[in-house]
Chains A and B, each alone.
Chain A
Amino acid sequence: MTWFLTHLPQLGGLMATHAVLAVLPLLIGLVVALPLGWLAQRYRWLRAPLVAGTGLLYTIPSLALFVLMPLVLGTGILDPVNVVIALSVYTVALLVRTVTDGLAAVPGEVVQAATAMGVGPVRRFFTVELPLAVPVIAAGLRVAAVSNVSVVSVAALLGIAQLGSLFTDGFARDFVDPIVVGIGACMVLALALDVVILAASRVLTPWTRRGRTV
C-alpha cells in the first residue's frame, strides 16, 4: 500500500502511456475491420476466407509480433509504434468476425425498407446498417479493449515503458508490490475502457433505451 502511495506520479505516467498504446490500436483496428467485415458480409464467398484468415492472425504470439515488426516495417527496435501496429493486427483479427456478425444481424426488412425509401447503398450503410450493428460491434470492441490492455504489458519484456514495466521491475528485484499495483492498474484501465465503450454504444443507439410508444 505504501509503495502505491509513494509512486503515484510514476504510476500515472505509465498508465497514460499504457492507455494510448491500448486505445490507438482499437481505433485503427476498427477502421480497418469495418470495410473488411462489410465485404465478408456482402459477398458470401469472401466470408470464410476473410474471417478465418484474420482469425489466424490472433494465433501469432504477441512477443514475436513485437520483435518482428521492425523487420517488417523498418521501424526502430525500441519504437512503441511496433506495439501499436501489432495490437492493431490483433484488434482486426477479433473485430472482422464481430463486424460481419453484427452487419449480418441487421434485419433484412429494415435494409429493404431503406432501399425502398430511396436511400443509396453508401448512405444506407452509414445511417441504417452500421448503427443497427453497433451493439454487436461494441461487444467485440470491449473484448478487444480488455485483451489489448493485457497484451501491451508483454512489451515490457522489450523495455517499452508502460504498466508492464512494473511487472519486470518487480520480478527482477523479487518485489511483489509493484507487480500487484501494476495488475490492479491494468484491471482499472480495462474496466474504464469497457465502461466508455459501453456508454458510447448506448449513446449511439438511443432507440434501445426508449420505451415502446406504439
Chain B
Amino acid sequence: MRLIWSWLADPANWTGSGGIPVRTLEHLGYAGVTLLLAALIGIPLGLWIGHTGRGRVVVVNVVNGMRSVPTLGLLFVAVLVLGPRLGGDLAFLAPAIIVLVILAIPPILAGAYSGVESVDPAARDAARGMGMRPLEVLRRVEVPCALPLIFSGLRSAALQVIATATLTASVSLGGLGRFLIDGQAYRDYGQMAGGALLVAVLAVLVDLIFAAVQRAAVSPGLLPTTSRRSIRTRLVPDPA
C-alpha cells in the first residue's frame, strides 16, 4: 500500500509526456475510439437481427466464437501482419484498435439484439396497429424499449476495453498499461500497483458516467426501480 501511495504522491509522476494525466487521456482515447467503432458496427447489426429475426443463429455463434479469442495472441498477430504494411505510429495503433474493437463488438451486439428481442410484443403490436411502418416501429418503439439492454452491452464492453487496453502497452502503445508493462519490466511494484489502481478507478468512473447517461436517456417506465405501483399512483389520482 505504501508503495502505491509513494508512487502516486510523487509529483514527477504527474508531469511530462509519461505522466499520469497524459497516460489516462491516451487510455480514454483508445477506449473511446474502440467503443465508437464497435457501437457503429454492433448496434445497427444487432438492431437489424433483433428486428428481422434473420441470421440470428449464425451471428450468435460467431459472436460467441469471438469472445473466446485470446486478446494477447490476436494483438501480436495483428501487429506482425499489419505493422509492416503501415507507416509511422499507425503501424502499431491500427492493429491494436482493431483487436480492441473485435473484443468490444460481442457484448454490444448481444445487448442490441437481445434488447430488441425483449421488447414487449404488445408494444410492437400496438405500434403496428397505429399504422407505423417497420422502420418507424424500429425507431420509435423498439429502440427506446431496447435501450436498457443496449446500455448494458455498452457498459460491459467499456469495462472489458478499459481493462484490456492495458495489454496494448506490450506493443509499444501508451495509455495506463504503460505503467503496468514498464513497472513489470523494472519490477517497480509501486508503479504497477498504482497503474492497476488507476485502471480500476477509471473503469468505475466510466461505468458511473454510463449509468448517469442511461438514467437520462432511458424512459422512466423501463427503469427497474420504477415499480408498477409507483406508475399507477403517478397517473391515477387518489380517489378522494
Residues of A within 8 A of B (CB): 56, 58-65, 67-68, 71, 146, 149-150, 153-154, 156-158, 163-164, 166-168, 170-171, 174, 176, 179-180, 182-183, 186-187, 190-191, 194
Contacts and interface: CB of A to CB of B under 8 A. Distances in A.
7 contacts: A63-B167, A64-B192, A67-B183, A157-B170, A167-B73, A187-B65, A190-B68
B80 A174 contact: yes
Interface class of chain A by DSSP: helix
B47 to A, nearest CB: 23
Contacts of B76: 167-168, 170-171, 179
Interface residues of B, number: 35
A178 to B, nearest CB: 9
A149 B193 contact: no
Contacts of A182: 70, 73
A187 to B, nearest CB: 5
B123 interface: no
B73 A186 contact: yes
Contact of A63 (B73, B79, B181, B189): B181
B162 to A, nearest CB: 7
B97 interface: no
The listed residue with most B CB atoms (<10 A of its CB), out of A64, A153, A190, is: A64
Given A62-B163, A149-B70, 8 more contacts: A59-B163, A59-B200, A60-B199, A61-B180, A167-B70, A171-B80, A176-B81, A186-B69
Contacts of B72: 150, 153-154, 156-157, 164, 167
Contacts, number: 107
Contacts of A60: 163, 196, 199-200
B199 A61 contact: yes
A68 B196 contact: yes
A194 B64 CA distance: 10
Contacts of B196: 60-61, 64-65, 68
A186 B162 contact: no
B25 interface: no
B77 interface: yes
Contacts of A150: 68-72
Contacts of A64: 180, 192-193, 195-196, 199
A83 B46 CA distance: 36
B13 interface: no
A176 B166 CA distance: 22
Nearest to B200: A59
B50 interface: no
Nearest to B3: A71
